[in-house]
Chain A
Amino acid sequence: MTETGGRARNRGGDVQAPPPLRPRRRGIGWAQRLEIVLLSGPAILMFVGFVIFPILMAAYYGFYRWKGFGPPTNFVGLDNYVTILQDTAFREALWHNGIILVLSLVLQAPVALGFALLLNQKIRGQSIIRVLIFVPYVIAEVIVGTAWSLMLQTTGAVNDVLRSIGLGRFAADWLADPRLAIWSLMLILTWKYVGFAVILFLAGMQNIPQELSEAAAVDGASYWQTQWRITLPLLGPTLRIWAFLSIIGSLQVFDLVYIIWGQYVASTAGTSTMATYMVVEGRNAGNYGFGNAVAVVLFLISMIIALLYQRFVLRRDTEGALTEGR
């Protein structure tokens, strides 16, 4: 596909002479090929260069004990991986990611579905409502983390509000108490991301043809029966895509934890994640080889989960997108 422009154009001319005779699949001319290469080449180059290649390099560096200076020389084979898998700090981080993953689905889906069902009615000001509940999603995690850590500290606004409404006995050290910290994190994550789920579900519901619920109403179905039998099943693809995004996001949680709990406290408060482990033990400690090995583990876990999910859950939804037109 690396023909020079001139040659490609000539060939293109040749092929174009009897244009419509060839069936569409095989006979694409050189001019078309050149266009394909020129148009998609830059994107592919960028993507391979800055996404695929770094992941491959991580796999390579991960076999070395390497401080990041000069080419890696101290080949240690699978030592880094053995260390990672034996490190209780990593297993804790993995466990926290698991908790975040499950709780994100369990907490956000019902809340978001409830609000989407409520808002999916003929009400005034729906567009402004949608903008407002999307606000936390649009704000940077750094800002979210900074604000919530101020509010949740022992002398912060949350405890103050609890005391002023007579619930002072529930005031707590939300960020440092290991029994509470992960729940504080979940509270913040839910606050930030539930609006996205609401908006997504709402949009999905509005794509469901109204005739279906009207027909159900004619047949005597109650409101809840209609939602249960028609809206929810037809919302399936939206729900499955949302769950996929949520799962992948849960495995990658970094900003919030790193901002709120810093690089040292996260492990004692019980909120460390694989990504914070990677940054703290890799970059901050200067062990680049080790950090890369952690990246590989994180990548493999994400990929296995993503592939399994695509294979068993998303298949029906993405099939059309990947093979359409055939």
Chain B
Amino acid sequence: MAQSRWGNPIVYAAALMLIGVMLGPVLYIIIGGFRTNSQITTDPAGFPDPWVLSNYTDVLTGDTFWRQVGNSTIAALATTVGVVVLGVMASYVLARYRFRGRGAMYALFAAGLMFPATVAITPLYILVKDLGLVNTLPGVILPQIAFGLPTTIIILVPFLQAIPKEIEEAAAIDRCSRLGFLWRMVLPLSVPGLITTGILAFIGSWNSYLLPLFILNDQDGFTLPLGVQAFSSQYSVDTAKVLAFTSLSMIPALVFFSLFERRIVGGLTGAVKG
């Protein structure tokens, strides 16, 4: 395989094809938002002619969208903080303490990977109702934290284990307690892992649908995915506006992801290696 620095052109062609297929529908949503409904009706796959901004400006000047952005942001940030803080504490124990029941504890969380929220959704709704949290963001946030923990712990444990024992011993000689070690050494050293798990939790929460669907019944409390669905059924004739609303709602997850793609992929493969 003696090729030039640029490599094989067939590879680029295949990559372009794949990217085209992957991005086509996304571009269809974004560009579709710049069309009018009559354009969409007469030529469903065409380009905007002329490009209209009003769909986007209408969404951006209305308060529905921003209220839902606010709700989604609060839910996603709180979920992220909860998952990362609780996750790193538990992972530290699993990674650097030796005690009986450690294997069982790890297995308990690992088992959680098998059971996405779908399975527990009906009783979760009842539990949240009993706690008086129906129609509130905490009612969404608390279960999301719980269901985010397995992934977080599975990713973080290898990270924390990779910190050399010598650093811990050196810290102990300098009279640094294990908790001080966690705070002063482990946290700074595991920032990449924390970012990976944090982004995964954020995107997971930002995109989640089933749990908010059960917990949030009141339009004012809707997060964006519920909002997109409500908007698209409410304005089902106004396709262009639905497309504008939809494309605006996917921006944060895309931005977060593209900023931290490397970390996410690194974290996932670290976890896969076990």
Contacts and interface: CB of A to CB of B under 8 A. Distances in A.
Interface of A: 24-25, 28, 32-33, 35-36, 39-40, 42-44, 46-47, 49-51, 53-55, 57-58, 61, 68, 115, 118-119, 121-124, 127, 129-136, 138-144, 146-148, 150-151, 155-161, 164, 191, 195, 198-200, 203-204, 207, 223, 237-238, 241, 248-249, 252, 254-255, 259, 275, 278-279, 282-283, 288, 291-292, 295, 298-299, 302-303, 306, 317-318, 320-325
Interface stretch (B3-11, B53-61, B187-195): B3-11
Contact of B110 (A35, A57, A248, A322): A322
Nearest to A240: B272
B149 A55 contact: no
Nearest to A255: B209
B121 interface: yes
B6 A199 contact: no
B241 to A, nearest CB: 12
Contacts of B32: 150
Which of B89, B92, B94, B266 has the most CB atoms of chain A within a 10 A radius of its CB?
A: B89
Contacts of B109: 43, 47
Chain B interface size, under 10 / 10 to 19 / 20 to 34 / 35 or more: 35 or more
A47 B147 CA distance: 7
B99 A28 contact: yes
Contacts of A255: 209-210
Contacts of B110: 318, 321-322
A151 B28 contact: yes
B127 A57 contact: yes
Which of B1, B10, B44, B253 has the most CB atoms of chain A within a 10 A radius of its CB?
A: B44
Nearest to B143: A50
Interface string B85-122: 01101101110011110010111111011111011111
A3 to B, nearest CB: 15
B120 A283 contact: no
A201 B40 CA distance: 39
Contacts of B43: 160
Interface string B106-150: 111110111110111111111100000000000000110111011
A93 B73 CA distance: 35
Interface string B6-24: 1110111011001101110
B25 interface: yes
A65 to B, nearest CB: 14
A150 B233 CA distance: 12
Interface of B is mostly: helix
A249 B114 CA distance: 9
B173 interface: no
Contact of A252 (B3, B26, B116, B258): B116
Nearest to A32: B97
Given A207-B269, A299-B115, A43 B90 contact: yes
B52 interface: no
Given A54-B123, A138-B257, A143-B246, A43 B86 contact: yes
Given A42-B86, A57-B126, A123-B12, A139 B250 contact: yes
A151 B225 contact: no
B153 interface: yes
Interface string B187-224: 00000000000000001001101100010000000001
A54 B127 contact: yes
B99 to A, nearest CB: 6
B232 interface: yes
B18 A55 contact: no
Contacts of A199: 265, 268
B237 interface: no
A28 B44 contact: no
A288 B127 CA distance: 13
Given A58-B120, A321-B110, 9 more contacts: A40-B90, A44-B90, A46-B145, A50-B120, A121-B8, A141-B225, A147-B243, A204-B272, A302-B114
B126 A68 contact: yes
B86 A46 contact: yes
Contact of B147 (A51, A254, A288): A51
B69 interface: no
A223 to B, nearest CB: 7
Contact of B15 (A123, A259, A283, A321): A123
Contacts of B114: 248, 302-303, 306
